[in-house]
Structure 1
């Protein structure tokens, strides 16, 4: 695991100066088939990360947001999102990040969030506690929805039906905020916020977050409480504690009734 972590950090270090160099510069924004934005920066960062991974682990697979999958049948597959929060990136908002995960037999065993403009890096592993910039971090210990702060990246990510679930959960909480992209999960791992509910995510958006949240004492699943996998439907619920997670799942289940 130490070797895998070193490789992940090397890939993030290759990404960081590239992301910084493109930030707040004129960039042509293209639209992908799903209408999400992409820029030269996304592609350049993914190529740099893939080069590190292919050099260090030629027998491993790679799943990237921009260039798809190679070696999907390998036991170990790296998952990368070069710029998570492209909408923030192209708007000059520094709350975008770079994500990386390592899957073993389809299960995320290592995950990383790097915030290039903020100088914060979270690393989660299945064999030890999550760390931010080398220091162990823990989720908050809140267990009641009425004490919890709920985050989502944007109300636009929900369908009208999904937003009804989000709104129902948020009404039971102390407050809600929008924004953050992957940064919200780092904040949850470090004990600053309590709940995150999102929809429309892809495997490269959520799989890197699993070891980070769980390694800090939190719980992250789909909306029904099932583990997140490559085949999950992109509905993600993260909570600071098991009790808080259970109550959030119950609230979502009741909203469906």
Structure 2
């Protein structure tokens, strides 16, 4: 259900090379974000109305990632939250959110992540969810997903949860991110689920892949908010769809991430009523 490129479409040697480079990008981003976390992060507001924070960590990490891509793969394109698009129609395109969860970052909460995804011929094929303060990188492609941490490396696998009534679910901010119809749909899903957690941003995606959470529901996402997670979830055996149960579009939008198809289908009964 997620629009992943098939493993056979990329030679194994190239996939391994890109996988290793993805880890290099995570290390470079961490070198920019960690010194500023719980320190003088230079926060400013992107919008004249409301509060949409950006920090020197966001900008510095994206600059570092872009510099490495330009040096190693100058023919690749880049789409990033902070510095826009560069050759977005290239065969290979990196999709970057240097600090997903900037609000958590400026609050000192270790739930923010660095999201780095790679599209091949317009489809997500490789991605990582990095949380450098915890020393974790969740990385995945069509052949499988794994967690790299101080404890070593282990495969990621979603857990079975066929019933929404047994599910541990999450969203970032229902009051701030959902419109009226979306909020109503979320409340229906929340009422049916066993437990809900808020404010985890993309770290909740990693927890679905790791088998500790069952469902994440979001709306208003941009491509850089979700592209990196699609291969990680798929490689762990999970699903990423829009609120109609279709593949997520290249621009993001309404998204549901689940470890178990049956649980997802139950949630979609409510979500489809508010689907765009």
TM-score, with normalisation over the residues of structure 1?
0.95
Where 1:192 maps in the other structure, the secondary structure is coil
User: What's 2:118 paired with?
Assistant: 102
Compare relative contact order (CA 8 Å, sep 6+) and give the higher one, 1 or 2. Answer: 2
Number of the residue aligned with 1:132? 147
1:190-209 map, 5 Å:
190-209=210-229
The match for 1:24 is: 38
Q: Who is 2:25 aligned against?
A: 11
Match of 2:172 in 1: 153
Conserved 8 A contact 2:181-2:274 = no
**Deviates most, 188-197 or 33-42:** 33-42
Encode CA deviations 1:86-139: one digit per residue, 9 max, x unaligned: 00001111111101000011100001011011111111101x111011310101
Match of 1:58 among 63, 74, 97: 74
Q: Paired residue for 1:40?
A: 56
Displacement of 1:231 in angstroms is 3.1
1:176 aligned to which of 196, 203, 207: 196
Task: Structure 2 unaligned segments of length 5 or more: list them.
Answer: 1-14
Instruction: Provide the rounded CA distance (Å) in 2 between the counterparts of 1:72 and 1:200.
Output: 21
- 2:264 is aligned with 1:245: yes
What is the root-mean-square deviation of aligned Cα atoms in Å? Answer: 1.4
Q: Which moved more, 1:173-182 or 1:23-32?
A: 23-32
> What is the aligned counterpart of 1:227 among 219, 243, 247?
247
CA contact (8 A) 1:214 1:220 kept: yes
Partner secondary structure for residue 102 of structure 1 = strand
- Structure 1 stretches of 4+ with a deviation exceeding 6 A read none
Name structure 1 gaps, 5 residues minimum: none
- Greater Cα offset, 31-40 or 160-169: 31-40
Count of residue correspondences: 254
Q: Given that residues 79 and 204 in structure 1 are in contact (C-alpha distance below 8 angstroms), is that contact kept between their aligned partners in structure 2?
A: yes
